[in-house]
Amino acid sequence: MAHHALVVGASGIVGSATARLLVEQGWQVTGLARKPGTAENVTPLAADLLDPASLASAVEGLKPTHVFLTTWARQATEAENIRVNAAMVRNLLDALRPAGSVKHVALVTGLKHYLGPFEAYGKGVLPQTPFREEQGRLDVENFYYAQEDEVFAAAKRDGFTWSVHRPHTVTGVAVGNAMNMATTLAVYASICKETSRPFRFPGSAVQWNSLTDMTDARQLAKQLHWAATTPAAANQAFNIVNGDVFRWKWMWQRIAEWFDLEAAPFDGEPAPLEEQMASDAAAWLELVAKHDLAEADITRLISPWHTDADLGRPIEVVTDMSKSRKLGFVDYQATDDAFFAVFEQLRAAKLIP
């Protein structure tokens, strides 16, 4: 039976990387998004996951064998995150049910499974690091849990297998993405270089000094493909990171070197990017005009709130990958090279000078 993937959130960092890999693997790929972009050999499908009637109409006649859920909608509170994001998953799986074609559903969540939602990020009683999949849910409301429960219920009812994938901070390229550390840092570094501002680490002393890890979108895409095609991986949750660990005191210097910058000394105090970049729209417009860049709206490139949340954490965050390794997923990606690959793509697309 031929594989037909429906990649939900195909215009995002994870979705676009996943669609690209599946095309390379010979799959038929449909890319669903509210405003789908154009990607080679990916059939675009425009749909609103919060509008059941139009969604049902959009997917009518579509018979995907595999569904990859790589999107979410950020809301003002965790209660709203739960209501909206659970509905998005439920509505999609309900709309696909009549065709009876789905064999596997993969859901991408993240380490907030262990850390708690942004409202309670890194607070209270947390599991011991490195985080392992067998660690249970925290006793707090979390939209990741609600998304999982929708997938589990539909799988039980409709008879498909599932997998859940928990990346750390994801690096990749997608303009307009709500959580994009690599592009945020690239824009910040470009402005620092142009204006001779200090390239200051924005986060906490704990993050500066502790071991941590990250997830290249291409690495995540490989695990999604692996889990969807490996029977032993069915109905399981997996952490997914690059496979290396680093300290930000080292990585910050590596990023500075790529941009031919001097990294400012870290004084131990956070310097959040949301504050540092609050007035940078005008500086960015000057860079756009000077270097003929492709995106004048800085808000479509940066997400300083998210970068601050990750780099400002007062706890060590590091992830165990043993579970999928034991089952045969052995891909690896050096994280500094993952950052550099993003920077090179941004420069090639004239998104940074």
Instruction: Give per-residue pLDDT as tens, 215-261.
Output: 999 999 999 999 999 999 999 999 999 999 999 999 999 999 999 99
Max distance between CA atoms of the chain, in angstroms, equals 59
Catalytic, 323? Answer no
Query: Within a 10 A sphere around the Cβ of 140, how many other Cβ atoms?
Result: 14
In 3D space, the residue among 234, 255, 243, 221 whose CA is nearest the CA of residue 22 turns out to be: 221
Instruction: Determine phi and psi for 272, rounding to 5 degrees.
Output: -55, 140
pTM (whole model) above 0.75: yes
- Residues 117-159 have pLDDT tens digits of 766 655 556 678 999 999 989 888 999 999 999 999 999 999 9
| Residue 212: predicted pLDDT | 97
| DSSP per-residue codes, 268-302 | SS---HHHHTTT-HHHHHHHHHHHT-S---GGGT-
Is 290 annotated in the active site?
no
SS3 330: coil
Domain spans of the chain, in order of start:
4-167, 174-213+245-317+331-349
Q: List, for residues 33-80, the tens digit of each pLDDT value.
A: 998 888 999 999 999 999 999 899 999 999 999 999 999 998 999 999
Asked if the domains at 4-167 and 174-213+245-317+331-349 fall in one CATH topology, the answer is yes
CATH topology of domain 174-213+245-317+331-349: Rossmann fold (3.40.50)
Q: Give the CATH fold of the 4-167 domain.
A: Rossmann fold (3.40.50)
Mean of pLDDT over the chain: 94
* % of the chain surpassing 90 pLDDT: 87
Catalytic residue among 63, 103, 112, 323: 112
Which residues does residue 263 pair with via DSSP β-bridges, in sequence order?
199
- Spatial neighbors of 85 by CB under 8 A, at least 6 apart, are 72, 73, 75, 143, 146, 147
Cα 300 to Cα 183: distance, rounded to the nearest angstrom: 10
- The tokens of 336 are what? 């500094």
Distance (Å, rounded) from C-alpha 145 to C-alpha 118? 14
Q: Which of 114, 144, 145, 188 is catalytic?
A: 144
Closest listed residue to residue 153, CA positions, set 217, 98, 93, 80: 93
- In DSSP terms, 104 is beta-bridged to 66, 161
Alpha carbons within 13 A on the beta-carbon side of 273 = 27
Q: How far apart are CA 3 and CA 162, in angstroms?
A: 15
As a whole number of angstroms, the distance between CA 306 and CA 309 comes to 5
pLDDT in tens, 298-343: 999 999 999 999 999 888 999 999 999 999 999 999 999 999 999 9
